[in-house]
Structure 1
Amino acid sequence: MNDKVIELLGTGASLGGVVLSHKVLGSVWTRVTGNPPPAKNPDPSETWTAIIIWSVVTGLVGTIIKVAVHRQVAKMEEKKEKPKASSQAEV
């Protein structure tokens, strides 16, 4: 595959993974706390503790997903660049 295609697929997978994780984390947050996760413009009744915890958890998970995807893309590019070893010795 072309390097640009691999990069675009990696970016798409990264974004998709972050969106999916955000939905899953939101569902878990609601189940655990009984409240929806803090919004971008938080309700004044939401505590700073909840806002900070939500931000840290979603930021941490999102970063882990992005790094994992980019590492996988780098491995794919590295494999592509390495010439395959021949089973026969060169003369």
Structure 2
Amino acid sequence: MSSIIWKLVGPGAGVLSAAVASRVTRKVWVTLTKSPPPDNPEDPDVAWREAVAWALASGAIIGVTRLLVERQAAVWYRKSFGEQPPGLGAGRDGRDV
């Protein structure tokens, strides 16, 4: 039963965090650049500098946010069920993380 819960909570946390991080990234971009982010960075009409900056910023913020949320979901799972979520494995020192 607990593995079914993790199959819902784990990906759900990731999707939710990516959506929130995307909105935050857009707001930060507008605040810093005073212009909207590129709708499609792959468009040849978007300057390379802007396309690369957007890719780096959005990738970093979304990745870090997703990591933080998924780690917190794993902490919640471990506290709730007394075991590591399925598929996370052991830490570097061989103990469950």
Provide the TM-score with structure 1 as the length reference: 0.67
SS at match of 1:37: coil
Distance 2:68 2:36 in 1: 28
Identity %: 25
Partner residue, 1:31: 31
Larger CA deviation: 5-14 vs 56-65? 5-14
| Partner-residue secondary structure (3-state), 1:62 | helix
Structural mapping, 1:4-83, within 5 Å: 4-40=4-40, 41-42=42-43, 44=45, 46-79=46-79, 80-81=81-82
- Aligned length, in residue pairs: 81
Cα deviation for residue 43 of structure 1 reads 5.8
Structure 2's unaligned 5+ residue stretches are 84-97
Larger RCO: 1 or 2 (CA < 8 Å, sep 6+): 1
Partner of 1:38, secondary structure, is coil
Query: What is the distance in 1 between the residues matched to 2:37 and 2:31?
Result: 10
Cα distance, 1:42–1:31 mapped onto 2, change above 3 Å: farther
Q: Cα RMSD over matched residues?
A: 2.3
> TM-score scaled to structure 2, two decimals?
0.64
Higher gyration radius (CA)? 1
